[in-house]
Amino acid sequence: MAAIQSFSATHPGDPEPGDLIEIFRPAYQHWALYLGDGYIINVTPVDEGPPATLGSAKSVFSRKARVRMQLLKDVVGNDTYHINNKYDSTYAPLPVEEIIRRAEYLIDQEVSYDLLGNNCEHFVTLLRYGEGVSDQAKRAIGAIGFVTAAAGAFSLLGLLHSRSRERQY
């Protein structure tokens, strides 16, 4: 397996059209698809003024996003990114021409957005593979499930403990 290299706006690497770009934000990863000539396609909140990435707290709760074609260097800003086609071993990528055609058709369209079920990673993997997948969302859903199960277990333990005290009297 090839070593993963980090890139930035000042050290852009050499992505190929159709590559998935994973951008590392302070608390999460934002995903885009490389179109070529320095441009990417990604989803951004519809209710923010200038084209931005899904980086604000407001965007987490947004239910709509706009598909935008932007310069990779503008979206990356001071962050780093990887060229990350990590699902290629599980899903066969569509032909590059098909990926680009599908992506270009969606530019400036408004799409639904859901952090766990239809996020930026789902969007770009749907373009590349024809199926939207997101490990980031799976991890979040798993964490929510664990917290919910733990809270339920603690509630049950508390109920059992209080009942055992009631029987002592």
Catalytic-labelled residue, pool 30, 82, 122, 161: 30
Provide the CA 160 distance to its chain's centre, in angstroms: 41
In which order are the strands placed within the sheet that holds 64-71? 7-8, 80-83, 20-24, 29-36, 39-45, 64-71, 110-112
Active site residue 30: yes
Q: Phi and psi of 160, rounded to 5°?
A: -65, -40
Task: Give CA–CA dist 88/83, Å, rounded.
Answer: 12
Asked whether the beta carbons of 20 and 13 are under 8 A apart, the reply is no
Catalytic-labelled residue, pool 11, 82, 120, 122: 120
Asked whether the beta carbons of 120 and 128 are under 8 A apart, the reply is no
Active site residue 120: yes
- Radius of gyration from C-alpha coordinates of the chain: 20
Asked whether the beta carbons of 31 and 3 are under 8 A apart, the reply is no
Annotated catalytic residues are 30, 120
